[in-house]
Chains A and B, each alone.
Chain A
Amino acid sequence: MGKRLARILFVMVLLSPMFESRAEDLSSRVIKHSFKNGLVLLMVERHASPTVSFQITYKAGSVNEIPGITGIAHLYEHMAFKGTEKIGTKDYPSEKPVLESLDRTFAELKEERERGELGNAEKIKKLEATMDLLEKKESLYSIPNEVGEIYRRNGATGFNASTGKDFTNYTVSLPSNRLSLWIALESDRMTHPVLREFYKEKQVVLEERRMRTENSPNGKLYEALMRTAFWVHPYGLPVIGWSQDVQSLSRKQTEDFFKTYYGINNIVISIVGDIQPDQVIREMEKTFGRIPSRPVPPAVPFVEPRQEGERRTHIEFDANPLIYIGYHRPAVSHADSIIFDIIDSLLSDGRTSRMYKHLVVQKQIAQSIGTDSATPGGKYPSLFFITAAPRAPHSLEELEQGIDDEISLLKTEPVSSTEIQKLKNQFDGSLIRGMESNSGLAGQLSYYEALTGDWKYLLRIRKELENVKAEDIIRVAQKYFVNANKVVATLSKTGSNEKVQNEKP
C-alpha cells in the first residue's frame, strides 16, 4: 500500500552547488499573499518549463457531514465539473425551469420511495418516466463537460479534484501563457456554479462507490475500521457516503453545502511554476479579490468520546485475509504529532524499516505492511493506522501478534542514533525531491497552509527532528499504543471460520 503524501519539507536550492537543509531557503521563495476577503494565496516562481500548476484547497470535506447526508461533499465535488450560468449551457434562462421541474419531480419520487412497502408502485413508475423525459429536455440545453473541454483545448493536464475528510482539492496544470484562462474559469466556478445533470451524476457516484468500496476487499475493510473506531465523530463516516444517503440527496441540499462551505475566505490557493508573482496578484485582485466573503462555516460539533477498551470488527468477503489496526491519536496540531510521523517512517518506510525487515523479510508472516501517521484526517483526533496482509499459511492472529511485538519494541527499546540519522537524511532527500514537480509542491503548500494556517509547518518537522530524543519516542508509544486505544478490523474469505470476536457499535 502506498503511503499518503509523506509529511515532507521542501527546500529550494536553485543553482546552488551544495545542498544545505536550511528552512530559510524555501521560506524566501514562497510568496504568501492574503486578500482582503480572506483568500490566501501561495506562490513559487520556477521557470524550468513554461508550465504552471494550480491547486485550490477548500477547507471543507466529508468531516462537515452528518448521517443522512453522507457523501454530500464528494457529490458537490463532482457537480463542480458541470459548469456555471455561462459555461455548460446553451441557454441558461430556458434551462433553469427544467432543472427546477426535475427537482420537484424528484422530491415527489423520493417521498413515495421512502414509504417503502406502502409506496404506490404505479406512481413511482410514472414519476420515473417523468424524470427521464425531463432529463432528455435538460440535455437539449446542457453542454456536457464543457469546463473540462475548455481546459483540454488549452493543453491542460491533471484537471481533477479529490474529496477527503478535512479538505477538497481542485487541481490543473496549464501552459504558462494561460493564467488568465484559469482565473476566468475558476472565479466563475466558485461563484456561479450550476448543478446540472445532478441525478445522473448521482448514479455515477454510486458506481464509484461500488468500485472503491463494495467490490474491493480493501475498501470494505477500511469502511469497517472507521465505523468501529469512531462512534460519534464524522471521521467514522465514509467520504463517498452511504448508498442510501447519496440516493436521497437533493440538489438544493447539495447547493446549500456549497453556499455554506465554499466561501472565498475558506480557501487556500497555491500556484507553482512559470509565473510572475506580482502580475498574478494584480490579476487575481481584479477577480478573486472582489468575491465577497461568506459567514464563517459552522465548526464540526462532534467530539469522539474516549474509547474504553479494545474494539474489533470482522468481515467475510470473497478475498484473502487482511488486517487493519488503528490506535487513537490526537490531531496534527498536537505537540506529539511529529513523533507519530517519525514512528510511521521507522516502522514502514523502505526495506530497512522495522516492520518490513522483521515481518516481511525475516519472519515472512506478512506479504505486505504499511503504516500511516494520521488516518483518515489530520485536523481532528484520528488514528495511527497499520495495514497488513498475512502470508499463508500464517494466520491473521500470528500477524497481529507480530505487529503487537513491533509496537511493544517501540515502548521499551530506545531508537538508535543511526536510525534517527537515517530519518534526517531521508527527510532532506524528500525535501529536494519534492521540488521536482510543480503540482506536487503546490499540493504540499496548500495542505499545510489549510491544516495549520501556516505552510511553514512543513519546515518544523526537520527542526524537531534535530531535537528528537529516543525517550520521546518511548514516551509517545507508551502513552498512546495501549489496548484502550486499539481498533482492529479483519477480513477473511467467506466461510473460512476465522475466529474473531465481534463488537458492534
Chain B
Amino acid sequence: MKNHSQFKISLFVLLVFVFLASYGAECRATPPSLQFEPLVFHPPKGKRTELSNGMVLYLLEDHELPLVNISFMVQAGSIYEPADKIGLASMTGALMRTGGAGEKSGDEVDEELEFLSASISIWIGGEAGGGGLNVLTKDFDQGLDLFSDILLHPKFSEEKLQLLKNQEVENIRRKNDNPSSIASREFLKLLYGTESPFARETTLDTISQIKRQDCIEYYSKYFHPDAIILGVAGDFKSEEVIQKLENKFKNWEKRKEMLPEFTPIHPEYKSTVNLVEKDLTQSSIRIGHLGIKQNNPDYFPLSVMNDILGGQAFSSRLFQEVRTRKGLAYSVGTVFNPGNIEVGTFFAFSQTMSKNTIQSVSAILENIKKMRDEPVSAEELRLAKDSFLNSFIFSFTNSAQIVSRQISLEYYHLPEDFMEQFRDHVSKVTREDVLRVAQKYIHPDGMTLLIVGKSSQFDHSLSIFGPVNTIPLTNP
C-alpha cells in the first residue's frame, strides 16, 4: 500500500500544545467505545542564531543517542541553470560530494567517511540545494573537517565529472523503462511546458555541454554563507559547535548577487487529452492541472479537501470507490503539491488494466466533480480533521526532523509557527470551506489527461474525452 505524505515541507515548529481526547465515544465501531486521556506533549524546537558571516543556524541538543546530524539548505536549484546546460545544478552538487575536497581526492573522502560509518550528502534539486553530515559523536570533529572542506574547497575532479556525465547519459537511455516514471515526467511537461525550468529534462545534448568550469562557476555563484541555513541536531554542546562553525566558515565571502526572479506563471485551465503509446497490460493515468503556492491561506482547507478526495489510503473517496468498491486499481489517489517559488500541481493518479482505462478515468472525474457539486458529509470532515490532529505528534518524533523543518520554513519564507497555524486552521475548517476551495481551485473542465498504455486494448476510444494528442517516446 502507498504512503502518502501530508505536505512537502519536512518538519516542525514548537509551541506547547495539548491534544484533546478524541471521539472514541462517537465512533460507533471502536471496540468497546474507548475514551482516551488527553495527551500532553511539549515538542522541542531548535534555537535560532546567526554566524558573523550571515549563515543562519538552528541548534537542537538531544543526547539520547551518540549521534550528530547536520543538515542545511542553500539558495540554489536547477531552475536557475542555463537552458543549454540542463543537468548542471544537480551535477554540481553531486560533484561537490564525489570530486574531492581540500587536500583529499574524492576516493579518499569516501574511504575516510565510510571507515567512520559517517555520511555526507550534497544535493541540488529544483528550487533548493542542501545536504548534510551524519556522524557518531566521537568522530564529530573529523566529520566536520570533511564536511566544511566539501562546502569551502570542493576540487571538482575532471575524472569524477566524466563519471557523472556517463551515468546521466545511461539514465537518459533508461528513462522509458518504467511506465510510472514516463507518466510523471510527461505530465509535468504538459502542465508547465516542455521548456519550463519546472519541467524540462536533461538531454544528451545538454549533458555534453557541461564542463568542469561550469560547475565551478555554478558553485561560486550560489554557495555563500549568507545563502545557507544550517541546522545541528543531536549529541553536541551548542556553545562548542557555534564556535567550531564560526572558525570553519569565518573567511567565507558573502554573496554578490541575489537570486533572479521568475516571471510568475498564470495557469490556464485547458482540457487536453494526451497519450503515450507503449506495449503494456496496465495503463498509467494522470489527470490534473497547476495548483497553488504554499503561502496561500487556502492551503489548509485544500489539504483537508485533498485528504477526503484522494490523499489518504483507506478512507479517501477515490480509495473507497475506485479501489475497494470497483476493484479497478491497486494504486489510486490524488496529490496536491503546493509550490514554493511557483505554483505547484494538483492531480489524480491511477494504474488500471488496459481494458478498464476509460472506465477508471470516468470514475475519477466523477469523484473530482462531486467535490465541487456538494459539501462533504460531517462525518467525512470529522474523520479528516481527527486524523490530522491526532497524528500531529508524529511530526515531532525526532530532533533532526524538527530542525530540518525549521530550516525549510525559513528557506521558503513561511512563518515560523506555520505548523501551529496549520493545526489551528484545520481544526476550524468547515464543510462550506471545503466546498468553497474545491470550487475555486479545481477545474474539471480544464484538466490535462495523460495515459501511458496500449490504446488498442482500451475499453473505449480515448477520444471520447476530446481530440487525442499522441506524445512520441524518443529513444536516445
Contact = CB atoms under 8 A, between A and B. Distances in A.
Interface of A: 13-19, 48-51, 81, 86-88, 139, 143-146, 148-150, 152-161, 173, 175-178, 180-181, 184-185, 188, 197, 199-208, 210-211, 214-217, 318-320, 349-352, 357, 361, 364, 367, 389, 391-392, 418, 421-422, 425-426, 428-430, 432-433, 435-438
Contacts of A155: 22, 386-387, 389-394
Contacts of A184: 30-32, 34
A145 B315 contact: yes
B114 A139 contact: no
- Taking residues whose C-beta sits less than 8 angstroms from the other chain, chain B's interface range is 35 or more
B281 A210 contact: yes
Nearest to B109: A351
B301 to A, nearest CB: 19
Contact of A51 (B24, B65, B137, B393): B393
B111 A391 contact: no
Contacts of B326: 200
Contacts of B327: 199-204, 207
Contacts of B137: 19
B67 interface: yes
Contacts, number: 228
Interface string B50-91: 000000000000011111000000000000000000000000
A421 B390 contact: no
Contacts of B176: 319
Interface in B416-452: none
A19 B282 CA distance: 51
A13 B136 CA distance: 13
Given A184-B34, A203-B328, A214 B29 contact: no
A422 B111 CA distance: 9
A210 B177 CA distance: 15
Given A145-B315, A204-B330, 12 more contacts: A13-B66, A158-B3, A159-B313, A177-B37, A181-B31, A201-B327, A204-B324, A207-B327, A207-B331, A320-B177, A389-B170, A433-B67
Contact of B328 (A13, A158, A207): A207
B200 interface: no
B473 to A, nearest CB: 10
Contacts of A211: 282, 330-331, 351
Given A145-B320, A185-B31, A200-B326, A425 B110 contact: no
Contacts of A364: 163, 166
A273 B276 CA distance: 48
A149 B314 contact: yes
Contacts of B136: 19, 428-429, 432
Contacts of B167: 367, 391
B280 interface: yes
A173 B29 contact: no
A210 B351 contact: yes
- What 8 A-B pairs have minimum CB-CB distances, sorted nearest first? A155-B390, A429-B117, A148-B314, A203-B327, A184-B31, A200-B327, A319-B177, A208-B330
Given A352-B110, A425-B115, A175 B324 contact: no
A148 B282 contact: no
Interface in B243-284: 278-282
Nearest to B322: A204
Nearest to B115: A422
A18 B353 CA distance: 56
A184 B36 CA distance: 13
Given A200-B326, A210-B353, A217-B177, A154 B29 contact: no
B23 interface: yes
Interface string B8-49: 000000000001001110010111101011110101000000
15 contacts: A18-B66, A155-B390, A159-B314, A160-B1, A177-B36, A181-B36, A207-B352, A215-B179, A320-B177, A349-B114, A418-B115, A425-B116, A428-B136, A432-B67, A437-B397
Contact of B64 (A15, A144, A180, A430): A15
A50 B43 CA distance: 10
Contacts of A357: 107
B413 interface: no
Interface in B91-141: 98, 107, 110-111, 114-118, 134, 136-138
Nearest to A418: B115
B351 A207 contact: yes
A255 B168 CA distance: 50
B308 to A, nearest CB: 12
Contact of B114 (A15, A391, A426): A426
Interface in B351-369: 351-353
Contacts of A437: 397-398
Contacts of B179: 215
A75 to B, nearest CB: 13
A356 to B, nearest CB: 10
Nearest to B316: A145
B408 interface: no
A208 B352 CA distance: 9
A391 B169 CA distance: 9
Contacts of B31: 86-87, 181, 184-185, 188
Contacts of A185: 31
A86 B29 contact: yes
B282 A210 contact: yes
A415 B386 CA distance: 56
Nearest to B174: A320
Contacts of A425: 115-117
A17 B118 CA distance: 18
B474 interface: no
Nearest to B69: A436
B173 interface: yes
